Structure 1
């Protein structure tokens, strides 16, 4: 079916994950701002909505990825196994690269100082964020799903930690947008060494993984959890 301009970016990606590449190409944020309609997002970016909609109308729809069929607690567990595990392993490796490249190339590329600062800030935000999800929010989701009855959580409604997690997603998303801008879309300079190239590739990979990660939480898991809580609590 043709892509409708009033469909949200999050729903468009959920319907067909291949659309992430199209939205990335147009610079449209489908994760932190996935609740915007296509028309709203395209208009804000100065893009022709018909052009974007046409590019999103990919023939032969891909089958839904397996994670979409998981229950809430299982989806949270899958996010931990897939995206959290990647970040815990990759963040320190990439931090060492960012520090090394800044030390070697910082004089010729002064923007690397801010790249280092932004990445370091992102990691400092992500580490406690992942821990809170793994130790507080996701176990609470599992507990409510198993109980099928109201649960007295110390933080009250699940909407409270979910709102906090979404706010933290916004912060990290903005930091990676800044890194992308500072590096001119992760473009490789002429004088870049192998470490410089590896740093840029690693930063871009992490940003793209974060987009998918945040999309799964903001646009799929969290709305489903809030709806589950509404049904149970009334």
Structure 2
């Protein structure tokens, strides 16, 4: 039997989304880097695994139905991702760009890292806009066709990209790129900590960046660790029937 220490970070979060808060607190990546064991993740983060394990054990291990994403149908999960996470990015991206430009314009002469932060914010906003369109127009509709095929006992519908694995691989690479941009922003901003005496706009900007990163981590987790593996498994199952 696999011990908790041997299980991957992604598996634990998939089973109970509340575990994401524990990993986040300790600086452990549970989305893009979630494929490693808890032991290895603790080694990388330089934390005592016993402390982390104790916190995980104390979580309520029965996830509430509203966040038991692992039990959801894939078509329902894709709609959730669009309506919650894609919508969040679309609504908050203009605000982030405005904050980044304003704060850099006013305070960039003193805090020189703000120019790079503004550039990185522009990069991640543009990258996510293009990324989400690909998912909404290409990948997610095909996943819904797979679900429909299984429900109706039909064959896998023909597609120009060969297999669902191809767009999934591209989406995972783009997730990694977006995650890396946010890691750079976090580093430059001292984990979104505004300087002493910062104005309200400065503070609001860093708070929004922190919120944006948390949403991105949850967003990527749902896709990399739940939606994509299940879509690959479903396509394989249908082709073998």
Give the TM-score taking structure 1 as reference length: 0.95
Alignment pair present for 1:184 and 2:190: yes
Report the counterpart of residue 50 of structure 1 in structure 2.
50
State how far apart, in whole Å, the 2-side matches of 1:217 and 1:29 are.
15
State how far apart, in whole Å, the 1-side matches of 2:228 and 2:73 are.
12
Superposition CA RMSD, Å: 1.5
Alignment pair present for 1:82 and 2:88: no
- CA shift, 1:51, in A, is 2.4
Report the counterpart of residue 127 of structure 2 in structure 1.
125
Alignment pair present for 1:35 and 2:35: yes
1:67–1:75 Cα contact (<8 Å) kept? yes
- CA shift, 1:62, in A, is 4.1
Cα deviations across residues 98-145 of structure 1 (Å, max 9, x unaligned)? 110000000110010111111111112111100000010000100121
State how far apart, in whole Å, the 2-side matches of 1:77 and 1:30 are.
22
Report the counterpart of residue 229 of structure 1 in structure 2.
235
Which residues in structure 2 correspond to 1:165-204 (within 5 Å)?
Answer: 165-204=171-210
2:99–2:205 Cα contact (<8 Å) kept? yes
Provide structure 2 residue ranges, at least 5 long, that are not aligned to the other structure: none
Q: What is the aligned counterpart of 2:158 among 152, 155, 175? A: 152
Equivalent residue of 2:35, what SS?
A: coil
2:96–2:121 Cα contact (<8 Å) kept? no
Which residues in structure 2 correspond to 1:1-40 (within 5 Å)?
Answer: 4-40=4-40
Which residues in structure 2 correspond to 1:50-129 (within 5 Å)?
Answer: 50-64=50-64, 65-129=67-131
1:180–1:186 Cα contact (<8 Å) kept? yes
**Greater Cα shift, 63-72 or 192-201:** 63-72
Cα deviations across residues 7-43 of structure 1 (Å, max 9, x unaligned)? 1111111222221111111110000111111112112
State how far apart, in whole Å, the 2-side matches of 1:169 and 1:114 are.
21
Provide structure 1 residue ranges, at least 5 long, that are not aligned to the other structure: none
- CA shift, 1:74, in A, is 1.1
Report the counterpart of residue 208 of structure 1 in structure 2.
214
State how far apart, in whole Å, the 1-side matches of 2:99 and 2:228 are.
34
State how far apart, in whole Å, the 1-side matches of 2:59 and 2:44 are.
27
State how far apart, in whole Å, the 1-side matches of 2:140 and 2:59 are.
36
Give the TM-score taking structure 2 as reference length: 0.92
1:5–1:53 Cα contact (<8 Å) kept? yes
- CA shift, 1:49, in A, is 2.2
